[in-house]
Amino acid sequence: MTPQLQTQPLPTKQPEKVLYPDSDGQPMSDNTLQFAWIAKLKEGCEALFKDNPTVFVAGDLLWYPVEGDNKTRRAPDAMVVFGRPKGYRGSYQQWLEDNITPQVVFEILSPRNTLSEMALKLQFYSHFGVEEYYLYDPQRNDLTGWQRSETGLIVIESLDGWVSPRLGVRFVFAEPELEVIRPDGKRFLSYVELMEQRDELEQQRDEIEQQRDEIEQQRDRMAAKLKELGIDPTQL
């Protein structure tokens, strides 16, 4: 009887794990003005929703919309995602985030940006479901915005006084730069402006304390004078 030859199963090739880098090697900003606006918008939106645990705000964070594709990606200067918890992320991998697309994105224009680059960004945001896209040029003090329609992102005709449907903030064209007004009427401020505002409030508190001390001293002097005249100030 001829012995049966036992064949070993061929090893199956394991699919390669797709890596999603946290950095694209590109600088966050090209100049101080661009960086200042990125920080103002990101931190302004962060403060606006600080009490809402299901609003995630990020700046210059890589967004990967398609699982298994690490080439299709963008890093908006600032983005706001409703329906996702706050917290650390190395990148925004949409399939791990209940497949929720960032609803609002901001880009701050720099002299290095090209028309073709910005056109590709608009195409990307339109294709992957962004609801509101705002592009600000701080050197020209010019704001352009797009809002989602049935066919994709379409340009907003007039932005002076425009209120973002998602954020509730109002954009006001002013000089020397754009103003972003919160629903409570307060402006988005830079860190320096916030510190100046805090210092001013502290100075006002100090002045009030000083005035209170002066009134107390005047009351004590008057009470002493009344006692000299034989009058009990507690009976007045």
The average pLDDT across 66-89 equals: 97
Cβ partners under 8 Å of residue 118, min gap 6 = 107, 109, 135
| Coil, helix or strand at residue 64 | strand
* pLDDT at position 1: 55
For residue 45, give both structure tokens.
């939106």
Q: Which DSSP helix (H) or strand (E) runs through 43?
A: helix 32-48
In angstroms, the Cα distances linking 28 to 60, 108, 192 are 6, 11, 20
- What integer pLDDT is reported at residue 219 of this predicted model? 80
Write down the pLDDT at residue 200. 59
Q: What is the pLDDT of residues 9-28, one digit of tens each?
A: 656 565 678 999 998 878 77
Average pLDDT over residues 82-92: 97
Half-sphere exposure of 76 (CA within 13 A, CB side): 28
Using the CB atoms, write b or e for 9-36: b if 16+ within 10 Å: eeeeeeeeeeebeeeeeeeebeeeebbb
Distance CA 87, CA 98 (A): 15
CA dist 139 and 117 (Å) reads 18
Residue 195 pLDDT exceeds 70 = no
Confidence label for 153 from pLDDT (cuts 50, 70 and 90): very high
pLDDT > 70 fraction of the chain, expressed in percent and rounded: 86
How many angstroms separate the CA atoms of 139 and 127, rounded? 29
| The pLDDT value given to residue 29 | 78
Phi-psi region of 47 (alpha: psi -120 to 50; beta: other; left: phi over 0): alpha
The answer to which of 31-35, 153-157, 217-221, 232-236 has the lowest mean pLDDT is 232-236
- Is the pLDDT score of 216 beyond 60? yes
Does 3 score more than 90 pLDDT? Answer: no
Cis peptide before 176 (omega within 30 of 0): yes
Q: DSSP per residue over 187-199, as a string?
A: BP--HHHHHHHHH
Q: List, for residues 51-61, the tens digit of each pLDDT value.
A: 999 999 999 99
Residue 26 pLDDT: 81
